[in-house]
Every structure is written in structure tokens, then in C-alpha cells.
Amino acid sequence: MKANFLPVVLATAVLSAGCQSTLTNTASEKMSEDNQTLRVATFNVSMEATNYDMTNHKMQSDNALTVALKSGDFSQINNIAEIIQRTRPDIILLNEFDYIADPQQGIHLFQRDYLEVSQNGFDPIKYPYVYLAPVNTGVETPFAGDKNARLTHYGFGKYPGQYAMVLLSRYPIQQDQIRTFQHFLWKDMPNNLMPTQADGSSWYSKEEVAAMRLSSKSHWDIPVQVCNQQINVLASHPTPPVFDGPEDRNGKRNHDELRLWKDYISSTGNAYLYDDMGQRGGFAAQSFVILGDLNASSVDGDAYPGAIDQLLKHPRVNHYPAPTSEGGRLNKPDNKHAASHTAHWGMRADYVLPSANLTVSASGVFWPANNQAGAELVADRASSSDHRLVWVDITLPDAHCNN
């Protein structure tokens, strides 16, 4: 089954979002009313069509995710909404939410029927501003019919738009300033890590090298106007650094997908970059937050050496302590890094990384211990996802909002 797929970006905005002087965090504490606090989150929600059993549902012409959302029969979707209602981010990136070009058949259904409806007694939550756009997963290359081809899809997926992403925001998105890097070619990154064979030749064919896109989904730079301040959301979902062979094509791609952001936010070394509109160069604004399931850890997993450190040790990135949870600590009690894990198999995979000029006042991972409220929402993958929501509170002392 294929999601609708259009070669254009789509952004929607309805109503207007006002600022508030205090936000409630998961501990029900309030920040000082002298400051404005912005909660930013990322959540791999595992809301891709193959996650839903359609045996008892008539598909007609709808995408399976659309059918699942309309049916109301999948408690996993309600649980995802409840987690978001409990943590109440102002800006949230949803990874693995299938791309459906018509938002009325996708993200707006999730908003209207789940987020804007109380789940288990928690207050509904509204996001007036939405950004979604096509991604590379499941999109066939010109070599798809060649049995000898190694590059049959630009990103792994059974249909176009699988494992996509969407951004929800309480604050206006500056649509005319968005930059996307879906079509940037891997070969155009200087000193790239494109895989090679034992003799040093390219693992991909010459024709495949010429067509290979770097981003397995896409890279988005989305400016959000938070009261009188602009904060750019840098969103992505690099490929997992596994499911390959000795050539380590996925590990190397993951590294270079993260390197794109490293180069993008650096003061030099990014003149080679070009976005999908042909604009060249790196990041020109002041404040940003790097968001997403980045599929890399410096201490666990199989990432290419130094992959995530390109961001964690970057001078423009805030070096605040990793968000933690009690549930994560107890999930892998023999792992000294377990409290900072964001995935059930035992790894910090999901990140909210503000720029160094932003002040982090609090952070956390929604992963209650078994004896804590909400534990049933993360009991297993079927309950919600194999990832956990990660949130960070950013204090904006100079923000002036019309309350």
C-alpha cells in the first residue's frame, strides 16, 4: 500500500498560538513567571502503516494509517496521544509517522480525534501549526527493476513515505524560510564515507553513486517564531547503522547524515551544501534545536565511530546533561548509561539538542518505572513504541509574549 506522495512541501497553519508565561512539566512544577519556558520534544511514535493489523478493516483506497486513525480500534494510538498530553510539549517532532500528503487523511486525524480529545482524563492539546513534507523512504530509484542493483530505493521502506516525520507546534512556522535537503547527493559531501569494496572501488555502481541521496528520510530546517524570538528546528531521522554488511553502508550513511548537521551549523566548511531549492551554504540564524531519532550513541550500539559526537561535542551545541528516566535505568540495570536510554533495547537514540546560546532548565525521558503512573503506556512496543518521548525545557528570559 502506498501513501500519497507529492514532490512539494506542505505546511498548514490554523488559528494563532499565543505564548504563556508558565508551562507545566511532568513533575507538575512551574517555572518562574519572569521567564518564558519552551518545551521541545522528539518522539518516534512507530505510527507507520505496517504497524497496524488491517485483517478486520476494509482498506478501500485509504492508507492503512488513515484506516487505523479513523477506526479508533488501536489503543497504541490513544496511548501515544496520552503520552503527549501528559508531557505537553510546545514543539514536537514525530518520527515514523507516515507521510500522507493530504493532512486531512493523516496528521489532522491524529490531532482532531486523539490529541484534541482527552485521553484517560488528561487535558486535550492543540497544535495550530503543522509541517510535513515528502521523504526518501520507499521511493524507488531508476535502478529498481535491475536485479543486480544495490540502490533500489533512496531510503528503506516498503512504500513511499513510510517512516516519515511531521512537526507540530504551538507557535508559528515561518514557511517561506524552510530549507529541506531531501535531494542532496551523498557524493557532493567532501570527504564523504560512501562505502567501498576491498580494492578501494565504490561499493555502489558509478550510476548509483551519481544518484544516491544522502538523507534516508530528509533533513529539515524549520524556523519557528516563539514570541519575539526565532528558533530553528533542525529535524531528521538518519538511517540505523545496522542491517548491512562489511561495507558498513548504513553505519557510514548515518555518520554522514549527522555530519550534514555538524557542517550546517558550523561557521565554515558548509559551502558545498545545497537545499532542495538550490540555496547554498549553512545555517545563518542564531538559535536552533536539533531534533530526532538520530540512531546513534557514543557508548552503546553499532554507530560509526564518532558519529553522534559530531553534534554532542560541537561548540555551538548546548552540552547539558543527557535527559534521564527511572524506567530507563531499571530497564537495563547492569548498564551504567541506562538512565539516559531512550529506546527499549538499551540505547540513547533520540535527541533534543538546543544551541549553546539557549538555556536548558529541565529535561527528561517519558519512561515511568513499573510502579509509577503511566507505566502501562510503555509496557512494551505494542503499548506505544519501542522509543520514548524525550523533552527539554528552554528558558527564554528575553522573550516578550502577548499573553
Q: Which pLDDT score, from 0 to 100, does residue 22 have? A: 27
**Residue 151: all three cell numbers together:** 540502490
Residue pLDDT, tens place only, 87-135: 999 999 999 999 999 999 999 999 999 999 999 999 999 999 999 999 9
pLDDT for the residue 46: 97
The helix or strand, by DSSP H or E, that contains position 390, with its residue range, turns out to be: strand 390-396
User: Can you tell me the distance from the alpha carbon of 342 to that of 392, in angstroms, rounded to the nearest whole number?
Assistant: 14
**With bands split at pLDDT 50, 70 and 90, how would you rate the model's confidence at 18?**
very low
- Nearest to residue 115, comparing CAs of 166, 63, 163? 166
Tell me which residue of 8, 77, 52, 40 sits closest to 292, measured CA to CA: 40
CA nearest neighbour of 2 among 46, 45, 48? 48
Q: pLDDT band for position 54 (50/70/90)?
A: confident
Average pLDDT for residues 332-349, to the nearest whole number? Answer: 98
Residue 59's pLDDT band (cuts 50, 70, 90): low
Closest-CA residue to 96 (of 166, 182, 164): 164
Please give the angle made by the CA atoms of 143, 145 and 150, to the nearest 5 degrees. 50
Q: Which of the pair, 382 or 7, is modelled with greater confidence?
A: 382
pTM of the model: 0.92
Percent of the chain, pLDDT > 70?
A: 89
- In order of 111, 115, 117, 212, 388, the CA distances from 84 in angstroms are 11, 8, 12, 36, 11
pLDDT at 98: 97
Say yes or no to pLDDT of 371 above 60.
yes
Read off φ and ψ for residue 11, nearest 5 degrees.
Answer: -130, 140
The rounded distance, in Å, linking the Cα atoms of 392 and 352 is: 7
What are the pLDDT digits (tens) for 28-41? 333 334 568 999 99
Given its phi and psi angles, is residue 301 left (phi above 0), alpha (psi -120 to 50 degrees) or beta? left
Specify the higher pLDDT residue, 18 or 249. Answer: 249
Average pLDDT, the chain: 90
Calpha distance 400→21 (Å, rounded): 9
pLDDT at residue 192, as a whole number: 98
Q: Which amino acid is at 192?
A: N
CA distance 109 to 34: 37
| Residue 399 and residue 36 in contact, taking contact as beta carbons nearer than 8 Å | yes
Cα torsion for 262, 263, 268, 272, to the nearest 10°? 180
330 to 235, 284, 324, 339, 349: CA distances (angstroms) = 29, 42, 11, 8, 17
Residue with cell string 497504541: 76
pLDDT score of 24 more than 60: no
Q: Which three cell numbers stand for residue 14?
A: 490554523
Q: How far is CA 79 from CA 40, 88, 131, 269, in A?
A: 19, 14, 22, 43
Closest CA to 91 of 10, 37, 163, 26: 37
CATH architecture designation of domain 10-396: 4-Layer Sandwich (3.60)
What does the block give as the cell for 96? Answer: 515514523
Tell me which residue of 217, 183, 188, 187 sits closest to 202, measured CA to CA: 187
Domain ranges of the chain: 10-396
pLDDT digits (tens, 9 = 90+) for 238-291: 999 999 999 999 999 999 999 999 999 999 999 999 999 999 999 988 999 999
